[in-house]
Structure 1
């Protein structure tokens, strides 16, 4: 397995201050650059909050807990005090660089530190999650051309972005584990074949790691894309922690990806909805920088949350400077796996994931537990753990339970294990064939269907009609049907069963129960 080098071994990006040898030596932890202990943006907010301001600006609560007692009870008075508006002079106004050449604001500096940590040439903090990052990335692709090679099992936000900007996708269909009910990734050979068939494509867009933790060969896929003269974009939402500890897989930016979408909150511990976009290294990445910067500015809210931005700054510092947290979290994940491997009922499904033809490694913080020999379905196990034990797993399928361990969040292993062992065992193993629906046939283009007049029809009438929506069983959020595809009986039944499950819903559905579907009129 490729593993990451420590941060101190990664060259600083051109726009970041180089690590001073004496500063590194004086660092509280050997080998970690002293400046990685800084949190410039969150420190600036705390400093602002320390003044006795008369606030005559947004947000409307104006830092007064008595002005918004309900909000204060949710997030605390301290959160209100640092909830400053975007463009507060000297803190996050990037226009200062235009007024005073060389001026680096705290937000800019925080982004530089993140770029160094992940081995990127530049990083942007974003506050609409990795979904927003995927919209930014697809918009950037549209400036390069009208076609792209894209993994079929991308997140629905990628499909939304492709649809909104009028791109024509050429899909690469990755491996599907019908036993676990999981979609994994794609190989370099698959990407090369589709790219060769569609030489007008402007980019290659893939996902790694998969929801179940399968890590694709990014270096090989990057070479294929670059040999074809196009950039590689990676949705690394589930691998935001990669590259930040020697025992973790190397992250995509260091392996040759040109643009990376990172859902930092998922594993690194920033606040929900905070994310990053990372620019890789090399000529394809360099050619994208100005374009991506313009697109980020057009998509990012002018009222983005200072709390979310500051949480990215703090989360980066925490995971980079406290490797012992990662090690403790890894140890707890390994302990769960060890107990599962020794158990008579449950089985560690990691070998299944690594057997996937696309997988060169796996995310050690994703634990897939096969329940097929346990006398209980994964779905029932998920629901009963939640209902009876207040143990909330990340995902379930009929045959598996998927756990996500935060990269800086060690688990109470005994609590989980005792809850798992208390689950009832049926006398007869439940019958649960795993059937992921086959791709639907395409009838019209994505954008043509999305922007066409629509009507709502019953689930029975929907079979054979053209979907106007992208519908994705969630989690993991991979679209099962796209706008312009003909709804099959198999897909309709699968999506309705997902919607009826205790822990699942269908993203994009106009009717949460899927008694009706939105189709092209």
Structure 2
């Protein structure tokens, strides 16, 4: 990475204030009382229910609905204290707990932007939930292209200069929306991008889904809020330890906070479930406490990830993807808890490596591409690194020599945008064979998943290269295309001209 712009860690508050989990403790205390439950949920926490048989009675006793005295009803509640502690821990002015993942946070962020302008300056490689937000909001989008690693077929981030160019071309800009870190762990220069956005009079929104643990240890990059971001989505369940589907949305302390806070409040009420899970919410409270008070355990995780990379470099069969990050001007740091491994360098595709690790070794990695697998270590976890490295080196080499490996599967360039995402999504559509869809306007968002970065947006012209890429992705082991009308991408939905 460029050492002149490397980010520094941001100290987080620790001590007795962060040592508590008020909402989680209140839920447990509530569950210990002898309730006769004649309300929803309908399982009534009965020990002989089918759910209790499947998951144990302890889980059911914690499953409370919202708006209960002593939990979240009124002011100064355990829930209020939990979100205040979260805001303090992440350095936010205010934090909202979410129960539909960071996707919900991205949708909230997208819904508030029409009050700020008419065009969203947005990184082209955002998560598909941001595009869903554009469909909901109706905003036009000015896309900023990320840097591409053509060898790996992956997208990284954007530079402040590219953002400045887009803002200069769109005086009606509402906000800037970027992703950092990337799915492969590349960290963008958020400070420079924030300064650029603010100089043009607009806020910076950061999808930091993969960086919720940032800033909680000196060995981790600083979080986006500490670098000047105004609104940050945080997928706390990913590496920060809460339960799947739980997340947070953080409002920064910057110049747009007074303007944004009431807008976020309204949008949050619009999309948050009226039956939010107490179990998911409590897990956020516990995860925050663990991060804020867990420097030692996070250090253990960092050491484990470093061991994996060190052994891979020493044995030489595989390559570490982040070792090549220095070639890209948009990357200023890397998430050390993401270990991206170039498996093609070791004679096997990422998809096949992932399939064999799962089938033969009971090892699950986060994602596979044509070229690589990505392993992630949760902040505070201590996995068996020897088992993982040994399994990698027992994998066959079906690709053989470099000559046999052929051309890596490259990301297709996006087609021309002729409609806004909302216009295309809401237009009458027709499902046609994929070969007939080439040259027509997509009505859907199509994304190889994970990571869920759209390859086709509603309103973009479908290209033959994109169809081939998506069909090859769908045909790979564990391959999936989010938004496709059929699993093989043999048909596509287009705008009915």
TM-score after normalising by structure 1: 0.92
1:331 pairs with 286, 289, 303, which one?
Answer: 303
Within-5 A mapping of 1:288-437: 288-426=260-398, 427-429=400-402, 430-437=405-412
1:37 pairs with 7, 15, 19, which one?
Answer: 19
- How far is the alpha carbon of 1:353 from its aligned partner? 2.3
Contact 1:41 1:106 in 2 (8 A): yes
Q: Distance in 1 between matches of 2:132 and 2:30?
A: 39
Q: Distance in 1 between matches of 2:29 and 2:366?
A: 37
Secondary structure of 1:202 counterpart: strand
Aligned match of 1:59:
41
Moved more, 243-252 or 394-403: 394-403
Q: Distance in 2 between matches of 1:507 and 1:393?
A: 19
Contact 1:2 1:249 in 2 (8 A): yes
Contact 1:333 1:411 in 2 (8 A): no
Aligned match of 1:82:
62
- How far is the alpha carbon of 1:244 from its aligned partner? 1.2
1:256 pairs with 222, 228, 233, which one?
Answer: 228
Contact 1:467 1:487 in 2 (8 A): yes
Contact 2:210 2:234 in 1 (8 A): yes
Aligned match of 2:8:
3
Within-5 A mapping of 1:90-489: 90-93=70-73, 96-97=74-75, 104-426=76-398, 427-429=400-402, 430-489=405-464
Aligned match of 1:101:
none
Q: Distance in 1 between matches of 2:130 and 2:10?
A: 30
Secondary structure of 2:416 counterpart: coil
The Cα RMSD (Å) is 1.2
Contact 2:121 2:175 in 1 (8 A): yes
Contact 1:398 1:432 in 2 (8 A): no
Q: Distance in 2 between matches of 1:85 and 1:445?
A: 39
Q: Distance in 2 between matches of 1:157 and 1:349?
A: 26
Secondary structure of 1:266 counterpart: helix
Aligned match of 1:23:
none
Q: Distance in 2 between matches of 1:398 and 1:447?
A: 32
Moved more, 209-218 or 387-396: 387-396
Aligned match of 1:50:
32
Q: Distance in 1 between matches of 2:272 and 2:422?
A: 23
Secondary structure of 1:56 counterpart: coil
Aligned match of 2:479:
504
Contact 1:376 1:425 in 2 (8 A): yes
Aligned match of 2:3:
none
Contact 1:133 1:276 in 2 (8 A): yes
Secondary structure of 1:7 counterpart: coil
- How far is the alpha carbon of 1:74 from its aligned partner? 4.1
Contact 2:365 2:373 in 1 (8 A): yes
Secondary structure of 1:230 counterpart: coil
Aligned residues: 488
Query: Which structure is higher in RCO with an 8 Å CA cutoff and minimum separation 6?
Result: 2
Q: Deviations over 1:14-61 (max 9, x none)?
A: xxxxxxxxxxxxxxxxxx320111100011111111111111111001
Q: Distance in 2 between matches of 1:81 and 1:354?
A: 51
| Runs of at least 5 residues in structure 2 that lack an aligned partner in the other structure | 1-5
Q: Distance in 1 between matches of 2:326 and 2:37?
A: 56
Q: Distance in 1 between matches of 2:327 and 2:66?
A: 47
Q: Distance in 1 between matches of 2:122 and 2:286?
A: 33
- How far is the alpha carbon of 1:354 from its aligned partner? 3.5
- How far is the alpha carbon of 1:445 from its aligned partner? 2.3
TM-score after normalising by structure 2: 0.96
Q: Deviations over 1:211-259 (max 9, x none)?
A: 1111011111111111111110000000010011121111011111010
Q: Distance in 2 between matches of 1:208 and 1:75?
A: 36
